[in-house]
Structures are given as C-alpha cells and as structure tokens.
Structure 1
Amino acid sequence: MGRPALLVSALLGLSLLSGCGSFEASTGDHEMTGTLLDPHFVVKDAALVAESGSAYSLVKDTDKDLTLVFFGYTHCPDICGIVMSNLASATARLSDEERADVDVVFVTTDPARDTPEVAADYATNFDESFIGVSGDLQTIIDVAKPLGIAVEKGNKLPSGGYEVTHGTQVVAIDADDEGVAYWSQDVSSAQLAADIQHLLREAA
C-alpha cells in the first residue's frame, strides 16, 4: 500500500481515537490492546457478493459471537498480507470452542480485479475457514464507511483495475450486528488472540 493509503489510515486512526474509549486500561483480568468503540459502529445491511454468487451481508450472514472484518485487496503489496497472516495466526491460538464462535471476513476494495472467486481464494489461502467477498465498489465503500474504514478509488491502471487506498483496521462485529472494537495494523497475533478471547468471555 502506498504513502497516500498510509496517510488515509493514519488520519482515520486519529479520528477514531478521538471518539472512542481505549481498552488500554485493564478491564477485569485482561489488559486489551484493541480499542473499544463507544458508541458502537453501525453495520450496514448491504449486499456484497460471496464466492457462490449469492448475496452476503455483514448483518444477515454473520451469526457468530464475533466477526472480524478486514478491507483490503489481493494485489496489495504489503499491509494486507501482514494483517491477514496475523488474523490467521491469532485464530490458530484459540481453542476449538473459541474458534467456532469467530468468523473472519475479507472484503476486497478492488472488485474490478478481485471477483468473488478471487477474493474467496485469497482469504482461504490464509485459513480455509476465512470468508472472502467482493461486490460493487460503491456498495463496498458504503459498507466500509460506517465501520470507520476509508476506501477510495484512485487512477485507473492498465490492467483495468484502479489504484486503491483503504484503512487497515480490523473491526470486530458482535452478535448484535454492531462494530464493538477495532485493532490497528500493528497489533500482534498474540495480542489479537488475547483480545478475542476476552471479548468472547464478555459475550458469554
């Protein structure tokens, strides 16, 4: 991801921190690394597209205690692969019971090149249970915005796609279909796993 994308992410992160309560302070027996969202982010019920070609909604099709959502694209040269690898490593640290209560969804920000099949293949390369979805670019932007994720289409590329800038946060959606927490791209897999376990305990 280029310098403009990193700038968008940094500016967005500052705006998020100004309106959210941090989990840095100890909460019970766990000191969270992530940031609690208060008020919670709105999750938009809009039709993205799954590998099968069927509609996929972050509201109607997410019924786990936690759904971790990351917006990126398969041609991303750096950050996307790092974040997705951290997600895979973090979920691998969970028990079988905990893992059953968590979904991970990759939403492409480059649907011109990332078809639903391409997005799904990319996601499952990190973990076979991960979900990858695509869709109309404007719909993706509309879904990302209320979750605090900036997605912007840049110049057209010779390949037919577009330069893409996008926020790099991972957002947690709870069983009530609300965005309740987020993590920056710098979170480690161990920190993320510990935070997920804490949020699952809180949801129990």
Structure 2
Amino acid sequence: MKSLSIGALALARAISTVTRRLKPALRKATLLAFFFLHPLQAAPPQTDFTQNLGQQLPDLTFTNSTGTQVSLLSLTEKRPALLVLGYYRCPMLCGVVMKSLVRSLQDIRMSVGTDFDVIFVSIDPRESPSLAAEKKKSYVTYYGRRSSAAGFHLLTGNPDAIQQLADTTGFGFVPTDDGKEFAHPSGVLVLTPGGTISRYFLGIEYPPTDLRLALVEASDGTIGSPADHLLLLCCNYDPLTGRYGLAINRLIKAGCGLTFGALALFVIRSLHRERRKS
C-alpha cells in the first residue's frame, strides 16, 4: 500500500475522528476502504519507502520512554528487532501500523523481549519521553505477555538523528502545510543483531508467518524451531511484495535430490540382496 499524500492526510484525520465511536470491525473496514480507494492515496516520491536492504544503521543516540539516552545499536546487540518509524500523535496511520503489528506478534510463539525486540522511533522532535511512555504502556498491555516491557523501545530524538535514521532506512517523510503532522509511508523493518536492515514489510498488514520467518532468518538461525528453519529452505523473500513465497527452484532441486537418493537406496539394497543370495 502506498503512503498518504499531504492532501489526503487531513481527510484521513477527519475519517478517523468520525469512526472512533464505531465498532472495531466496522472502524477497521472504513479505514482500509479509505486507504485503498481514496483517489489521493498516491503520495509524492519523497514520502515513499526506499528499500536499503543490507544497510547498516548508524550508531545514533535517542531518548527512551524513561528519559534516558540510549544508543540505537545497543538495542540490537543481542537479538533481531522490528523497527517502525512514525510519530506518537499521528491521528491514524501510525496507530494502525502498531496495532496491526502487535496483533500479528500475538500469533507468533516467539516473544518480544526474549527472542526479539520492537523499536519505535518518533520522527517528530517535539514529542516527549512521557508521551512515548504512555504509548509503550498501551502496546505492552495490548500484547499481553509478561516480561515483554523490556523488549518494547519507544524512542524520541533530535532532528539530526531522526533525519539520519530516515535517510539510512529510506523512510521519506514531509510535514504538512501547518507543520503539525507528517505525510509518511507505512511499514516495518527487520533488523539483524548488530543493526543491519534485513527485510521490509510495507503497508499495514503483517502476516504472522512472514514476520516469524523474517525474524528467524535475521537471527541467522539462533531463534525459531526446526520447522521454521526447514520452511525457510523452501521459501524466498520477495522485496517487491514484502512476502515469503515458495521457492520453486529449491523445491525442484529438493525433489530431484530425494528421487535420486531413493533410487540409489533401491539399487544398493538390490545389490545387497543379490550378494546374500549368491
């Protein structure tokens, strides 16, 4: 899904206000209808995602939800991470992205804070750690797993650090005419331990299976079940769609290998029987 243009952002905010009193299912359907059908949904190029796969994040300093300055790379030292850029006062899009992400993570056996981390960086330098703390509490509560709070990192920063991170990740954003809001793309980045960009998931829907495979792949096999590692052998990541699909070539090679192995085993057993008879 493409990002919102500045002109559509005001209308999106109005729709969000009207739909707050609707039932959750109806509210989500209304928001999705706006995103996919609104004629102004195509955003200017400067608010799109540029996928910088394999790019190393710079060692930038941000402020966490307790008001403590932290190194961004220090948050990715031990395990892979999911990175989201947005802002806490976003009238609609950022909240949709985070709720959709956390909802998908609920369906993954691996846990935030144990197997991977979730990092949200505000692109608005005017936002405060107290606002980040408020949002963190709501996401941790929504996620619903004990001891996950240590894995949610909601950060704020200065303009230079924000812009440098946006440039590195290919996150294009521009302020609206009144300067109160931002037009920006929606998506989630997967980081390897050490802070290298491994995968992009664009849009507002993140299938749990794809997220799980991306985290297992980013961890270089240090997390995930044997079934996950086997499934990765049969799947390829498509950067254009941000999805994992069956790798036909790998399946054909695997099938040929199994067929050859079975044939070789049959010949060996046949020869062994003939020798025993003789």
- TM class by shorter-chain length? 0.7 to 0.9
SS of residue matched to 1:121:
helix
* Superposition map of 1:54-69 within 5 A: 54-69=68-83
Deviation (angstroms), 1:143: 1.4
Corresponding residue number in structure 2 for 1:178: 196
Higher RCO structure (Cα 8 Å, ≥6 apart): 1
Corresponding residue number in structure 1 for 2:23: none
Deviations 1:117-171 (A, max 9, x none): 21232133112522211011231111121011123344445xxxx3223332211
SS of residue matched to 2:55:
strand
Distance 1:201 1:44, change over 3 A: closer
Distance 1:156 1:47, change over 3 A: farther
Deviation (angstroms), 1:49: 0.7
Moved more, 117-126 or 100-109: 117-126
Corresponding residue number in structure 2 for 1:126: 139
Measure, in 1, the Cα distance between the counterparts of 2:209 and 2:46. Answer: 20
Corresponding residue number in structure 2 for 1:145: 167
Measure, in 2, the Cα distance between the counterparts of 1:167 and 1:55. Answer: 27
Question: Structure 1 or 2: larger helix share?
Answer: 2
Measure, in 1, the Cα distance between the counterparts of 2:133 and 2:44. Answer: 26
One-letter amino acid of the counterpart of residue 184, structure 2: H
Deviation (angstroms), 1:184: 0.5
Corresponding residue number in structure 1 for 2:158: 136
1:107 aligns with 2:100: no
Bigger-Rg structure (1/2): 2
The number of residue pairs the alignment matches comes to 177
CA RMSD of aligned residues (A): 2.8
SS of residue matched to 1:145:
helix
Deviation (angstroms), 1:60: 2.1
Moved more, 122-131 or 188-197: 188-197
TM-score normalised by the chain length of structure 1: 0.73
Deviation (angstroms), 1:115: 0.3
Deviation (angstroms), 1:47: 0.8
Identity of aligned residues (%): 20
Q: Give the gaps of 5 or more residues in structure 2.
A: 10-40, 142-148, 223-278
TM-score normalised by the chain length of structure 2: 0.55
Measure, in 2, the Cα distance between the counterparts of 1:190 and 1:200. Answer: 15
1:85 aligns with 2:87: no
Deviations 1:84-140 (A, max 9, x none): 01221222222256761110011111231x201212321331125222110112311
One-letter amino acid of the counterpart of residue 85, structure 2: F
SS of residue matched to 2:171:
coil
Question: Structure 1 or 2: larger strand share?
Answer: 1
